[in-house]
Amino acid sequence: MKQGNLIAVSAVVIFVVAILVFINLSPRQKFDWSESYKHDNNQPYGTEILYNLLDKYLPESPVKLQNEILTKQALYTASFEHKTYFFIGKNQYINPTEANYLLDFVRRGNTAMIISPNPNFNLLESLVDTSMAKMPKELLGSFASKVVKAQFTDSSALKSNQFSFHYQNIDKKETFNYAYFQPQYVAHNSAVVPLGTLQNTQVNFITAQLGRGRIYCHTNPLFFSNYHLIQKQGAQYASRVLSYLKPGEIIWDVYSQTWAPDADNNQQSASQPESPLSFILGNEALKWALMVLLVAGILYMLFALKRIQRVVPIIEPKRNSSLAFIRTIGRLYFLEREHATMVRHQMRYFLSWMREKYRIQASELDEATIEKLHVRSGVPKEMIEDIRDQYKKLSVYAILDDSVAIKFHQAITRFYKHCK
């Protein structure tokens, strides 16, 4: 690639990267408004406050992060102490084997709390009792609204039993899809007990006895995000939900928030991944590395714009070696006495020169070719016919005298002198 093109391409790349960095660092992008529900995320829709709240709400219940796939060993309790499995996220990515481990964990007397609009289907199916004739195809539904009211079915513990939530995006409220359990799943299933509703009608918080343990399912992780927990009513709502948990170690499942190739989750949608540039700018070391790269690119452009004089090569004067070549060839033919071969070469060169100069395609000088050559070159026909006649006589001999070869050479040279 030429130096000028390299500088142009570098300038375009640096300009685009600088614009993207400016957009990501602009005041309007001070916060990341995507739904992550990560325990270590302090952005509006992370759950760092909830993580700290769980850790402080039950001091005797340490929080353990589950960063690997669920196994029997991860959920097994050797001392039979009570444990709580806790999950929050947009989708619960666990496969059927993991779901069975979790159900067995609850049946042994432990608790599971799942806060997700897309919990694992096998878990919800396990809560269906024998009195339910047919399992509904859709277990959850959703409705769109800018503001939603949440209530608890048991309001004895609180003076106010109505909590208002909304989805905030930068500086305005936006319409959001709020998930709930289908009425037929709750109403015709005696094993499921509703604990909370949306808009007084749609059940969004349920519980069910499973063996010696209990499982809780909540469909709105948005209510437990940092954005709502910094508000008084959001903290009260989360505190009320967490009050159902028993003392004991809490296993916070962070591994199942992300889709894995071996997960068979029956989910309808996946979380939007974090953009590469947002990830880089969120990491202090990577951000500084990007800045250094941009500065280095700009400095390279500034120095490269300066004109660089190339080394001027020494060009030796051309030597006219045509005469020496002719003398060498002449001596060769004279010493070898190959006059017949030289005559054939002369005729072949004459026909090639005729094709190149006058665009006459011919392999011999017939009458039509002679007529065309006469018209285009301006040479008399007799002179061209003389070349043809001499060549016909000489071409049949393998050995020629000096005189006849010289005569043929003079005929062709005469043509070259008179042609136009």
DSSP of 177-206: EEEEE-HHHHHT-TTEEEEEEETTTEEEEE
Note the pTM of the prediction, 2 decimals: 0.57
| CATH 3.40.50 location in the chain | 33-273
Which of the four pLDDT bands, split at 50, 70 and 90, describes residue 154? confident
Of the chain, the percentage scoring pLDDT greater than 90 comes to: 31
Domain 33-273 annotated CATH 3.40.50: yes
pLDDT at 4 (0 to 100) = 57
pLDDT at residue 62 tops 50: yes
83-88 and 249-253 beta bridge pairing: parallel
221-256 pLDDT per residue, tens:
999 999 999 999 999 999 899 989 988 889 999 999
pLDDT at 209 (0 to 100) = 92
Gap between the Cα atoms of 353 and 134, Å rounded: 97
Judge whether 263 and 94 are in contact, CB under 8 Å. yes
**Listed ranges 107-121, 185-199, 279-293; the one with the highest mean pLDDT:** 107-121
Choice among 16-25, 58-67, 96-105, 381-390 with the minimum mean pLDDT: 16-25
* Higher per-residue confidence, 76 vs 325: 76
Mean pLDDT confidence for 78-95: 87
* Higher per-residue confidence, 152 vs 281: 152
Q: Give the pair of three-digit tokens for residue 171.
A: 């500086």
Choice among 56-70, 172-186, 273-287, 346-360 with the minimum mean pLDDT: 273-287
C-alpha dist (Å) from residue 8 to 1, 59, 297, 308: 11, 61, 12, 16
pLDDT at residue 123 tops 60: yes
Query: Minimal CA–CA distance to 31: which of 295, 224, 164, 225?
Result: 225
Judge whether 75 and 251 are in contact, CB under 8 Å. yes
